[in-house]
Structure 1
Amino acid sequence: MPTIIFKTLINAPIRRCFDLARSIDLHLQSMKSSEEKAIAGKSSGMINLDESVTWSARHFGIPFEMTNKISAMEYPTFFIDEMIKGPFKKLHHQHQFKIIDAQTEMTDIFEFHAPFGLLGRLLEKIFLKNYMLKLIEKRNKMIKFQAEMAC
């Protein structure tokens, strides 16, 4: 199963970074290019423990729907969102936050498994892992920008 570990240093307080990472509105803003919308569950504001959101988006020209739930949370150091319904066989995303000097280190640990057996594993290696990394990078740039702008 592919795993992406991506760290972002942010010149902002840990609580601000944590809250922005849970913001449905900021997520939607960062994913405009894929026409992402929150269509069910928590659809705006900050998502919390045991809440879910259903996203609709277009990737590779194909419409997708995916429901994710916050399955664990410890404010302001980590939360986990997991796909409970959608296009992947498995999707598990840990968001970790810690203070390093005067900065917040935000770490994404993103594990996913594509459907379709051997074909899915091939797609993971050929382009899906890189595509998912680019989505995480894009989202984190938006979080960093918003967090640092408020300082």
Structure 2
Amino acid sequence: MVSIEAHSGIYTLKTEQLLNTDLETAWEFFSSPNNLVKITPKHMAFEITSGKAKAMYPGQIITYKVSPFPGIRASWVTEITHVKDREFFVDEQRFGPYSMWHHEHIFEETEKGLMMWDKVSYKLPFGVLGRMIHPVIVKNKLTQIFTYRYKILEELFPA
């Protein structure tokens, strides 16, 4: 479901999920930034601050507020850097909590349903300190977020 590997100071999170839907429906859902609220844990108080977002397009800037931990509110700015209609899109952090964040969303229609992959390559700030807190805090938090997303998508697109 969710795996995280380290390589050259960068971490890569991968997920794989088979959804009981067609490519058109899935693409419509995932290409709307407004649906991020639906698949983010409620306790994170996720809020798009750049206004109601239109369907994504390359160059689109989206700003958010999110609470990764109780009492901490962070701003996050991402850019949609690549879109290949009904195949994949990429969002990259421009400003936020990571030194680097590159998130690939990949879709493929199969006989069994829609296969969806997430691949997030990220780097933490603060050098050695960042690497020390990764296994204790960051890895667990990201696993929790993507496990929640998996569960919600199972409910939105039931078998």
TM-score range, shorter chain: 0.7 to 0.9
Question: Residue 146 of structure 2 aligns with which residue?
Answer: 136
Deviating above 4 A after TM superposition, structure 1's stretches of 4 or more consecutive aligned residues are: none
Distance 2:59 2:153 in 1: 22
* Paired letter, 2:52: S
Distance 2:144 2:55 in 1: 23
Q: Does structure 1 retain, via aligned residues, the 8 Å contact 2:11–2:121?
A: yes
Provide the secondary structure at the position in 1 that maps to 2:135: helix
Over the aligned positions, Cα root-mean-square deviation in angstroms equals 1.8
Provide the secondary structure at the position in 2 that maps to 1:96: strand
Question: Residue 119 of structure 2 aligns with which residue?
Answer: 109
Q: For residues 75-114 of structure 1, what are the structure 2 equivalents within 5 Å? A: 75-114=85-124
Question: Residue 9 of structure 1 aligns with which residue?
Answer: 18
CA separation of 1:148/1:52 partners in 2, compared to 1, >3 Å: closer, same or farther? farther
For this pair of structures, how many residues does the alignment match?
148
Distance 2:119 2:131 in 1: 19
Deviation at 1:148, TM superposition (A): 4.3
- State the identity as a percent: 21
Provide the secondary structure at the position in 1 that maps to 2:26: helix
**TM-score under structure 1 normalisation?**
0.88
Deviation at 1:26, TM superposition (A): 1.9
Q: Which runs of 5+ in 2 are unaligned?
A: 1-9
* Paired letter, 2:101: L
Distance 1:48 1:59 in 2: 27
Tell me the alpha carbon deviations over residues 85-142 of structure 1, each in whole angstroms, 9 at most, x when there is no partner.
1111000100001122131110000111111110101112223123112212322433
Distance 1:73 1:137 in 2: 25
